[in-house]
A and B are shown apart, each in its own frame.
Chain A
Amino acid sequence: MSRVLLPTLLLLLCGVSLMVGASQISWSALWSASDDAWLTLTASRLPRLAALVLTGVGLSICGVILQQIVRNRFVEPATCGGLDAAKLGILVALTVLPGAGASGRMLFALVFCLLASLVYVAIIRRIRFTNLVLVPVIGLMYGSLLSAIAEFYAYRHNILQSMQGWLLGDFSRVIEGNYEIIYLILPIVVLTYLYAQRFTVLGMGEGMATSLGLNYAATAILGLVLVAVSVSATVITVGAIPFVGLVVPNLVALRYGENLKRTLPIVAMCGAALLLACDILGRLLIHPYEVPIGLTAGSVGGVLFLLLILWKCK
């Protein structure tokens, strides 16, 4: 079923996403090569579509990698401090190196995100929780702590209000020329797919992975680097979008299992489809205005997260 249905659904959503927006594009205008319509399409709609698809793919793959490293189904960038650390990194970059530009901010976000997830993984490995839910709860607490530091920092530097504005995931700012950093997710996806078997072995735990001849520490660190790159690229371009990396891998695992070589493409497609659907919804709800995707995806994802926890812990 997934071979045909899922790509079709994804293409359909892509098509709808291109057609929906504040300014109407009609097929006839495109057909008659109207400059206006083409400009809307190439400068705004297509970049937005690319950003949406790449973000959805990147975030859901991040979730998968983190879940294999921590060996807990409820871990993703938003529940392990990675997302909040990336925000903090951007703030620090803004104040320390105001002229750094997007790539400089990205680098700060990347380093902060990587360090925060390394600390988180170290904490979890040290405490050895047996409780399934405690692991993400610790991550949420840890994330809130980092977030609080970020807010205090922003308050001290008088950028609190702008921070809250641009950190809420939002695709309406994506236009040609200011989103290209998101293409960094493409090589990440390719690398993750090439390493899919290794990441599955990672999920078997350190002992079994070592018995199978895998260099556990090196593979785990590689995974965290891949996660840090995708998270910082998405936070820089579109802001924070929680729960996508959690909900998608879990739903896919229920139906297709967790042999990543087989399921990663499905996870990627579902991630893109979920984000596209949330974005279209956000654009239609109060048309011609928009609800930021951080809100729509956050609430849809949050509810699904709660349902999954209740269902798993029954």
Chain B
Amino acid sequence: MITLEHLHKAYGDKTVLDDVSLAFPAGQVTSLIGPNGAGKSTLLMCIARLLPANRGQILLDGQDISRIAIADYARRVATLRQVLDFNLRLTVEELVAFGRFPYSRGLLTADDQQVIDESLDFLGLQPLRGAYLDELSGGQRQMAFLAMTIAQRTDLLLLDEPLNNLDMKHAVQIMQAIRRLCDEQGRTVILVVHDINFAANYSDHIVAMKGGAVHSHGPVAEVVTQANLRALFGLAFEILPSAHGFVCNYFNPSLSRELV
């Protein structure tokens, strides 16, 4: 559904995205992985229309996204970035209600209210609905922002490092929610994730980036191989099959000596 054609982005003379052409499979979870500065977030922000690309185009269902009005785009693509500087004093419910802004522009209908309730239910946030955001833990806040993004009811969700600064339990909860969004509601999710194990265990498709270009992409089993990850990150990997997916050990892999 989302296709990139020869996307190029540079800041001054520093190239961040170099001729990226990709197609993201619909109805699947795609993780963008790669070392810092690989251009993952830039790519995601270009798709979100928060950054303009210098060359190339992005097609949503065959339509150039720069030709879609920003208000219409918000009903088709929802974006969640890291929200470190959010200082509005809103309750969880009020925040989630703003996920309906692209539809209602302020006046909530009964349908909107139902979507808000469902989104809160979906992430188990009902007990916190009246709490102010600044009274919540980082994990609970992230859940609230995800609920708002879910309430936008878009086919495509873009999540930029949704697991940043979260403890293990909240990280697992968020990834499980993303999985359910895809499996139960048929939504397409593209996320930037740093933890290779979350990417390997929760996504269908992986796009690995390095130096502004696509390093490799494909179904998880094709990308998550010892040789490929070693080339991508410059680290030795030991990939252990588990009951549900893979566990990638890069902390103390037994083969590390031959590389260093």
| Interface residues in chain A, defined as those with a beta carbon under 8 Å from any beta carbon in chain B | 71, 73, 196-198, 200-201, 203-205, 207-208, 210-215, 253-254, 257-259, 261-262
Contact in complex: A205, B71 (CB < 8 Å): no
Instruction: Given the known inter-chain contacts A71-B87, A205-B86, A261-B106, please indicate yes or no for A200 contacting B75, CB distance below 8 A.
Output: no
Contact in complex: B48, A211 (CB < 8 Å): yes
Q: What chain A residues lie within 8 Å of B72 (beta carbons)?
A: 213
Contact in complex: A204, B86 (CB < 8 Å): yes
Contact in complex: B106, A203 (CB < 8 Å): no
Contact in complex: B102, A212 (CB < 8 Å): yes
- Give the interface residue-count category, chain B: 20 to 34
Instruction: Given the known inter-chain contacts A197-B105, A197-B106, A198-B106, please indicate yes or no for A208 contacting B83, CB distance below 8 A.
Output: yes
User: In the complex, A71 Cα to B84 Cα: how many Å?
Assistant: 13
Q: Please give me the residue from chain B that is nearest to A203 by CB atom.
A: B88
The smallest C-beta distance from A278 to any residue of chain B, in angstroms, reads 26
Contact in complex: B101, A212 (CB < 8 Å): yes
Q: Please give me the residue from chain B that is nearest to A196 by CB atom.
A: B106
User: In the complex, A200 Cα to B98 Cα: how many Å?
Assistant: 9
User: In the complex, A262 Cα to B97 Cα: how many Å?
Assistant: 13
Contact in complex: A213, B75 (CB < 8 Å): yes
Kindly supply a per-residue 1/0 record for chain B positions 73-94, scoring 1 wherever the CB is within 8 Å of any chain A CB and 0 otherwise: 1110011110101111111001
Q: What chain B residues lie within 8 Å of A197 (beta carbons)?
A: 98, 101, 105-106
The smallest C-beta distance from A259 to any residue of chain B, in angstroms, reads 5
Contact in complex: A210, B70 (CB < 8 Å): yes
The smallest C-beta distance from B109 to any residue of chain A, in angstroms, reads 14
User: In the complex, A76 Cα to B91 Cα: how many Å?
Assistant: 24
Closest 3 CB pairs of A and B: A213-B74, A197-B106, A213-B71
Q: Please give me the residue from chain B that is nearest to A206 by CB atom.
A: B50
Q: What chain B residues lie within 8 Å of A204 (beta carbons)?
A: 86, 88, 98
Q: Please give me the residue from chain B that is nearest to A73 by CB atom.
A: B87
Q: Which of B31-48 contact A (CB under 8 A)?
A: 48
Q: Please give me the residue from chain A that is nearest to B101 by CB atom.
A: A212
Contact in complex: A208, B81 (CB < 8 Å): yes
Contact in complex: A259, B90 (CB < 8 Å): yes
Q: Please give me the residue from chain A that is nearest to B104 by CB atom.
A: A197
Q: Which of B150-198 contact A (CB under 8 A)?
A: 152
B202 at the interface (CB under 8 A from A): no
B129 at the interface (CB under 8 A from A): no
Partner of A213, one of B73, B80, B89, B91: B73
Contact in complex: A253, B85 (CB < 8 Å): no
Contact in complex: A257, B74 (CB < 8 Å): no
Q: What chain B residues lie within 8 Å of A205 (beta carbons)?
A: 85-86
User: In the complex, A214 Cα to B89 Cα: how many Å?
Assistant: 20
Q: What chain B residues lie within 8 Å of A262 (beta carbons)?
A: 94
B49 at the interface (CB under 8 A from A): yes
Q: What chain A residues lie within 8 Å of B101 (beta carbons)?
A: 197, 201, 212-214
Contact in complex: B89, A257 (CB < 8 Å): yes
Q: What chain B residues lie within 8 Å of A253 (beta carbons)?
A: 89
Q: What chain A residues lie within 8 Å of B73 (beta carbons)?
A: 213
The smallest C-beta distance from A9 to any residue of chain B, in angstroms, reads 23
9 CB-based A-B contacts, threshold 8 Å:
A196-B106, A197-B106, A205-B85, A207-B79, A211-B79, A213-B101, A214-B70, A214-B101, A254-B89
The smallest C-beta distance from B140 to any residue of chain A, in angstroms, reads 17
Contact in complex: A215, B70 (CB < 8 Å): yes
B250 at the interface (CB under 8 A from A): no
Instruction: Given the known inter-chain contacts A210-B50, A213-B72, please indicate yes or no for A71 contacting B85, CB distance below 8 A.
Output: yes
Q: Please give me the residue from chain A that is nearest to B75 by CB atom.
A: A213
B132 at the interface (CB under 8 A from A): yes
Q: What chain A residues lie within 8 Å of B49 (beta carbons)?
A: 210
The smallest C-beta distance from B27 to any residue of chain A, in angstroms, reads 22
Q: What chain B residues lie within 8 Å of A257 (beta carbons)?
A: 89-91, 94, 132
Contact in complex: B88, A200 (CB < 8 Å): yes
Interface centre among B50, B73, B79, B88 (most CB of A within 10 A): B88
The smallest C-beta distance from B90 to any residue of chain A, in angstroms, reads 6
User: In the complex, A257 Cα to B132 Cα: how many Å?
Assistant: 8
